[in-house]
Structure 1
């Protein structure tokens, strides 16, 4: 089975659009996973039928038992995040500021603070016409996105047993969610665009990916909007030994397809044709790898 993650160095490059299009035209038995848990929207393009929903338990958070609290304030003094506040003449936990470090529970001389699991989101499995989908939704303010990505991948890998392809829509950037996404993958497709910031972030992303045993491929979306920078991206990839498997032109029909909640490959458009060629090039390279 091929494990492929579609990622980007910055948001807005068209990563999810490309992922959905690749899934739509794939002739393989496949499982999809949306690991962009902070803004999970791959499901919007496939109208999935929900199979299961389960809570995601993130890092533990403290709870102050007023029966045992003696109002000494030591916990507030020890908290470096300002998460223990005075309300209604009692010490309480501000969950939005708490990092779950447990220092307050360790410092409390009365044992009035205990660490308890907190629901930080939900994990879903769904059925789509292009295969099963593992995805999730992280609660606003929750900071355990890397752990949630790991849980999504666990479910996707279980469903992918016997399949030809595990196709992952990854998060933008180079942080913990990205690292959790590409761990265990066979290859990554980096979707970039012709802008100075995108080229800068492409270089950072390649540096991170090279710390993992993955094959790296590049696609340039909206390449014709700034062809000079596209040439700079190509020159960088040539110098680094990276294969550019496709260039996708700017195409207003992409926006129309997204607004209609469907992959662009279901429309007769220049972008759809380019993604078809990209798919052929990409999987040809993967078969040789």
Structure 2
């Protein structure tokens, strides 16, 4: 089983569009693949796939302190101890701002009256669904919640288990944007990272950061330049970066209204015949070949 993760230096580069197009190609070619949306903060792949939920689970991560007013003696010890200014005092009554609380547990452990409860924190929901393009693992963090890296690791684990159960040869992931904790978790154990890059100075800079991160984890990088015809000079600079970095150029996508039209139909680009679909089909074939190459030594262990 191989894992391909589509990444980008920032949001809005076309990462989900490319991932959905790849998923449609895999389905059309009879490749068994499990799909996974790892952009848990702002997921959108479900919009194109119209998933039918088969399993729904609450994502629990950490704890949140709460003051039981019936036990609280208003001694103020919790406010003295809290380093995050999460304790509020209004009309002599203490309460805890759950958005400010970091769940360290100090107030819970050291409250003289044992008035601070410490229940599990619900941070979101994750799903296993069926779609027209195959099994789909996805999630949604609740507003204001963190620990997205941990949720990403959970989704990857579920996707791998699903792939093993079904005998699927591929796990195809729509990764998180940027280079932070969720992206590191997204890339863990990947055979190939497909970077979607825009030909702008910021796009080139963001690609450099993503490429550096992948190099750290010894994950090969393949690149799709999106809207390549809008800036020939920057496109040339990105090609130079790809060559000098030893990366692989999968293709160059021109700017096209077909992308928006496919979104409105809630379809992947490769579900209809077009010049864009041909480029993406060739890119998918190349990506599969790169992902099938022997594993490299020294890759970090899976989370």
TM-score range, shorter chain: over 0.9
Which residue number corresponds to residue 62 of structure 2?
Answer: 59
Structure 2: give runs of 5+ residues left out of the alignment.
295-303
Which residue number corresponds to residue 243 of structure 1?
Answer: 248
2:3·2:291 contact (CA, 8 Å) conserved in 1? no
Which residue number corresponds to residue 235 of structure 2?
Answer: 230
TM-score by length of 2: 0.91
Task: Kindly state the Cα deviation for residue 129 of structure 1 after the two structures are TM-superposed.
Answer: 1.6
- For the residue of structure 2 that corresponds to 1:210, the secondary structure is helix
Quick one: distance in 1 between partners of 2:223 and 2:198? 10
Over residues 73-116 of structure 1, what are the superposed CA-to-partner deviations in whole Å (9 max), with x where a residue is unaligned? 22123223221112464111111222212232244233322321
Task: Kindly state the Cα deviation for residue 65 of structure 1 after the two structures are TM-superposed.
Answer: 2.1
Structure 1: give runs of 5+ residues left out of the alignment.
none
1:98 aligns with 2:101: yes
Over residues 108-158 of structure 1, what are the superposed CA-to-partner deviations in whole Å (9 max), with x where a residue is unaligned? 233322321011110111001211000001001001111111111121111
Over residues 164-183 of structure 1, what are the superposed CA-to-partner deviations in whole Å (9 max), with x where a residue is unaligned? 11000111011111111111
1:30 aligns with 2:33: yes
1:280 aligns with 2:295: no
Alignment counterpart, residue 206 of structure 1, candidates 208, 211, 225:
211
Task: Kindly state the Cα deviation for residue 29 of structure 1 after the two structures are TM-superposed.
Answer: 0.4
Which residue number corresponds to residue 74 of structure 1?
Answer: 77
1:250·1:271 contact (CA, 8 Å) conserved in 2? no
Quick one: distance in 2 between partners of 1:72 and 1:278? 65
Alpha carbons of structure 1 residues 287 and 152: separation in structure 2 relative to 1, 3 Å: closer
Quick one: distance in 1 between partners of 2:146 and 2:293? 39
1:11 aligns with 2:14: no
Which residue number corresponds to residue 43 of structure 1?
Answer: 46
Quick one: distance in 1 between partners of 2:239 and 2:168? 33
Quick one: distance in 2 between partners of 1:209 and 1:18? 19
Task: Kindly state the Cα deviation for residue 189 of structure 1 after the two structures are TM-superposed.
Answer: 0.7
Q: CA RMSD in A?
A: 1.5
